[in-house]
Amino acid sequence: MTTPELVLPPTRNVGTAFFSGFAALIIVVFAVALFVDPKVEDHLRPGILVFGLLFGGTLGILAVALGRGHGAMWLDKEGRRLGLGVTSLSDIWWLPLDRVAGLRMIAMPTAGTTIERWMLLIVMNEEKNLTIELVESDAGATLDGIGTRLATHLGLSYNEGRDDLDLPAARPHHARFGVQRKAALTLVLSAFGVSLLAVGILALSQLENEPIVGFIFAPILMVMGAALGLVALVKRFATETLSSDGVHFTHAYTLGRMRWGARTIRANTPRFRLRFLGMRGALIEVLGEDGTLVIAAGATSRSRLSLEDVARLPAQFSQNH
């Protein structure tokens, strides 16, 4: 079996990776320094060291991931499939070329601005209402050249056009789904949340000795930690609903009997756009006449609702389905 060919290199955030690694080093050194400081009470030393290493280690892992890169593209000629990188070089969604109709460059709506932005999209064969965004730029000529060369190399058609042609009408349907297990950044958010919450509680316990730290910084750290932990918990256990009556689309989050964040847009002929957000995973935008809904945020090739499952969602709301 031949090795897949790297068509587009990964995106590396070298600057952010460097500063994340530097911050991780400072936090670890500071935690160790407090651990050996004779002025620190003995019962506080283990907690300071553990949570310092946890927080610094998480930042270090994040730095390595940013340095390695994400968002590359591979071509497996023997298997007739296209590999789209998601959060890392090992998180790849393999898309059969038989499902790809071609590439298209479109202009993004830029009301009120003088700079026009462009998107390079993958157009699907069967999923007529779904496109996959590869790259976005305000350099139209450069993007056009990339699209032309990429289409030639992949053996696909390429054109510059509109994003609202030949769209099937919506049909009434209700879907319930959840990204949940192995969603993007879940472990990172959990580690940061636990660390900040623990440090905040630790600072609050020293209110008598350090009143400024206890009053000012402890509540902020605790709120930030709780917020990050809550985001991770919601992504892990909550589900989403997307409903259509053929004219309107409504999206909401549910957890048991709780339901929140409901939004409704009008979309007789909805467009679904799959977007990759680097380490934040992928999501789908439901574009209507009066707004946009974001669904399945944080999806990866390894999440419970995998990218393959996410890409199949739009067809359920199409009259052609």
* Residue 280 burial (CB count, 10 A): 17
Q: Residue 85: phi, psi to the nearest 5?
A: -70, 145
CB 72 within 8 A of CB 89: yes
Nearest to 80 by CA among 183, 191, 5, 189: 5
Nearest to 203 by CA among 35, 48, 37, 30: 48
Predicted pLDDT at 162: 66
Lowest mean pLDDT among 31-35, 164-168, 226-230, 273-277: 164-168
- Residue 112 is given by DSSP the state T
* Residue 90 burial (CB count, 10 A): 10
Q: What distance, in Å, lies between the first and last C-alpha atoms of the chain? A: 35
Mean pLDDT of 167-178: 90
For residue 178, pLDDT beyond 60: yes
Average pLDDT of the chain is: 87
Render pLDDT for 230-250 as a digit per residue (tens, 0 to 9).
999 989 999 999 999 999 999
Mean pLDDT of 184-200: 86
CA of residue 168 relative to chain centroid, distance: 27
For residue 321, pLDDT beyond 70: no
- Residue 70 is given by DSSP the state B
pLDDT band (50, 70, 90) for residue 103: very high
Q: CA torsion sign, 171 to 296 to 103 to 270?
A: positive
Lowest mean pLDDT among 120-124, 167-171, 215-219: 215-219
pTM for the predicted model, two decimal places: 0.85
What is the rounded CA–CA span in Å between residue 107 and residue 137? 10
CA atoms within 13 A on the CB side of 11: 14
Render pLDDT for 41-74 as a digit per residue (tens, 0 to 9).
787 788 788 888 888 888 888 888 888 888 889 9
Q: Which of 42-46, 57-61, 199-203, 306-310 has the highest mean pLDDT?
A: 306-310
For residue 221, pLDDT beyond 70: yes
CB neighbour list of residue 165: distance below 8 Å, 6 or more residues apart = none
